[in-house]
Amino acid sequence: MKHLSIVALAALLLVPSVAWGFNCPVVIKQAEDMIKRAESKVTPETKPLIDEAKKQLAEAKAHHERDGEGEEGSRRRHPQGEGRLRIRRGSGDPAGAIGSLAAFAGQVVLITGASSGIGAALAREFARQGADLVLAARRTARLQTLAAGIERSGRRALVVACDVTADGDLEHAVARARDRFGRLDVAVANAGVGVVGPVESLTVADYRRQFETNVFGVLRTIYAVLPELKKVRGRLVILGSVSGWVASPGSSPYSMSKFAVRGLAEALGHELAPSGIAVTLISPGFVDSEIRRVDNEGRFHETEPEPIPAWLVVPTDKAARHIVRAVARRRREAVITGHGKVVVFLQRHAPWLVAWVIRRFGVRSRSEPRRRG
């Protein structure tokens, strides 16, 4: 019931300005879905909030219909890098050519953590958009299966065993990419883990383990790929999280790491602009992933149930399409999932409300998967 109260409060604040600021049809549809689910288990506490949310949504829809779809609002920032080409809504390449011309045709994309979840889905989506792939992760058997599927689609894929916490592994992956393809156009620093728990139950070693992958692993990736990206004025993609905007109790290691990479991405966006490199921070909400079934020691619990309600979890292929579109547009940041956009908007403009909701309704991070044996 706590989830439903929070949903109602979030939907309540989806005023027309939110719809105008964030791809209106997507946000409105997400809010409508949230309200329908909240209505299915309405309580005296949530009913007034739901009624007010429905009223506000009606205003947002009327606002959208008056203004038409057009561009995504006057606050849209110009794309980074050269050309400053305009992109039509719903397309991921200049002049809206996606569908007739692949957005990444002839380009080479390196993805860390490509063996599952968002990384694997991104590999398939980049391949669909014409790219050749360098697949880097520790679980090479999974990478081989992924690579076989990509090659059946007509693109090339190189599998490289890589641990982002090991010095030299990323340089080796980039060298392999250069030897095989002769270039590198896009690098996606996707590998990550999630350490969770109350601070009093954790140790400094837990925080260090979290940062070794999620922060220093990203840095190792950046140092390895920058020389190649500078040659082609390429794209650097850093996977952050909505948890890099809002931290909940029990998530301090993970949130700290994602706050850190958000700051890193912002600084690098300025630093690398003269080189023509676009830096895109991706901040997903809840996306279908194995990360929530991995314990603090990095062990995967295959039978552990998904702790997040299914209706809040976005399929990886859908998330990958939105991410690749943002990368093609050379966006500075893309918040993925409708609920993620709502949360980030509220944190930006009404942080006091977010804090009140977290404390009033006892919002907490997920628990660590159970360790057996």
164-214 tens-digit pLDDT: 999 999 999 999 999 999 999 999 999 988 887 888 888 999 999 999 999
Look at the block and give the residue holding tokens 């990444």: 104
Q: 207 an active-site residue?
A: no
* Residue of 22, 254, 259, 345 with catalytic role: 254
The domains located in the chain, with CATH, are: 1-70+338-366 (no CATH), 96-331 (3.40.50.720)
- Sign for the pseudo-dihedral over CA of 130, 134, 135, 141: positive
- Produce one character per residue of 121-149: b if its CB has 16 or more CB atoms within 10 Å, e if not: bbbbbbbbbbbbbbbbbbebebbeebbee
- Candidates 160, 327, 352, 172; CA nearest to 237 is 327
- 245: Cβ contacts below 8 Å, ≥ 6 apart: 262, 283, 343, 344, 347, 348
- 317: Cβ contacts below 8 Å, ≥ 6 apart: 121, 124, 125
- Assess contact for 201 and 221: CB atoms under 8 A: no
pLDDT along the chain (373 residues), means of 10: 47 45 55 67 66 67 54 48 43 38 89 92 95 95 95 96 96 97 96 85 91 95 98 96 87 91 96 96 78 54 53 80 94 88 86 79 51 45
pLDDT in tens, 265-293: 999 999 999 999 999 999 988 776 555 45
